Amino acid sequence: GRLTTAYTIGGVVGPYTGGLLGAKGDYFLSAKIAAVVSLFAAALSMLLPVAAAAPPSATSATTASITEKTPQEGQPWSERASVVFKLAGFLIMVKLVSSTANSMSSSAQSVILKNDLGFTEADMGFFMSSQFAFGGFANGFLLAPVTKLMGGNSRAVVSNCVLTMALGYSAQAVLRSESLGILSAMPAMFQTYAFIGLAMFLSIFQYSLGTSITAESTKIVPEDMKGTLIGMEHCIFSAARILTPTIGISILNNAGVSVLYATCASIFLSVAGAWTALAGRFLPPQHEKGS
């Protein structure tokens, strides 16, 4: 709880402070300060106590049926990763593809706010801080009611959230379409609020989607391999986020805002179709726990 609180405070204060520093004209000042603070944090990490590793628990029967070795017997990471992917690979791919669309959208968001909606550096910092604060509020207070609204169990939530994200990105594509000109006659302030409001609205379901996929994947993966699952997810998503910002910005520059959001909507529609057609095949029945 304290770690999450500290991270949230940094995510709220950091962008706002960076925006104020950038507004003074020196775009490198915040980077220099961040480098010094990061080195200080790295030095502080050397003072952390080293905890003794807890003995691993026995693996489940499902894992034993896939491989004869257990983590206690020195099972290689590659074998554990293979087991995890056999059990939760479909969920990992769903989360990867959906986060790819979200990354494409978020990478272009700053460019849209600055170039199309006229945000200054200070405005950008304030928006990013507000967005992070809203994310904390949504995770703390909106996750439970949204989960209940979307069906209650994790698989229903995934399906409904994916469809909601597809509809939301479709709405952004229609509203930002220059050929349709829906917002062109509206005041600039209204266009800004419409864009930000819809982005905030989609972020609620984005959090619910990611949380529900994680809940489902950790439920079907044995206890001794949950660490492997989390590590695989972070590695895959980090690799994907190296490429997706470039793709998102390229679509934005070459085809425009509307096509970018239409592409994101198409990705989510593809995920919805794959989930409907393949979830029953690759996932165990819901009444089976941890299998």
Predicted confidence (pLDDT) per residue in 5-41, tens digit: 566 777 778 777 888 877 777 778 888 888 898 899 8
- State yes or no: pLDDT of 269 exceeds 50: yes
Report pLDDT for 57. Answer: 52
Q: Confidence class of residue 270 from pLDDT cuts 50, 70 and 90?
A: very high
> pLDDT digit string (tens) for 78-94?
888 899 999 999 999 99
Report pLDDT for 7. Answer: 65
Percent of the chain with pLDDT over 70: 87
What's the whole-number average pLDDT of the chain?
Answer: 83
> pLDDT digit string (tens) for 32-57?
888 898 899 889 888 878 765 555 55
Average pLDDT (234-261) is 89
Q: What are the phi and psi torsion angles at 221 (to 5°)?
A: -100, 135
Which one-letter amino acid corresponds to residue 245?
Answer: P
- State yes or no: pLDDT of 154 exceeds 70: yes
Q: What is the 3-state secondary structure (H, E, C) of the chain?
A: CHHHHHHHHHHHHHHHHHHHHHHCCCCCHHHHHHHHHHHHHHHHHCCCCCCCCCCCCCCCHHHHHHCCCCHHHCCCHHHHHHHHHHHHHHHHHHHHHHHHHHHHHHHHHHHHHHHHCCCCHHHHHHHHHHHHHHHHHHHHHHHHHHHHHCCCCHHHHHHHHHHHHHHHHHHHHHHCCCCCCCCCCCCHHHHHHHHHHHHHHHHHHHHHHHHHHHHHHHHHCCHHHHHHHHHHHHHHHHHHHHHHHHHHHHHHHHHCHHHHHHHHHHHHHHHHHHHHHHHHHHCCCCCCCCC
Average pLDDT (148-171) is 92
Separation between Cα atoms, residue 125 and residue 24, nearest integer Å = 13
- State yes or no: pLDDT of 265 exceeds 70: yes
Q: Confidence class of residue 257 from pLDDT cuts 50, 70 and 90?
A: very high
Do 16 and 125 touch, CB atoms closer than 8 A?
Answer: yes
Helix 226-255 and helix 188-220, axial crossing angle in degrees, nearest 10: 150
Which one-letter amino acid corresponds to residue 133?
Answer: A
Q: Confidence class of residue 120 from pLDDT cuts 50, 70 and 90?
A: confident
- State yes or no: pLDDT of 166 exceeds 60: yes
Q: Confidence class of residue 256 from pLDDT cuts 50, 70 and 90?
A: very high
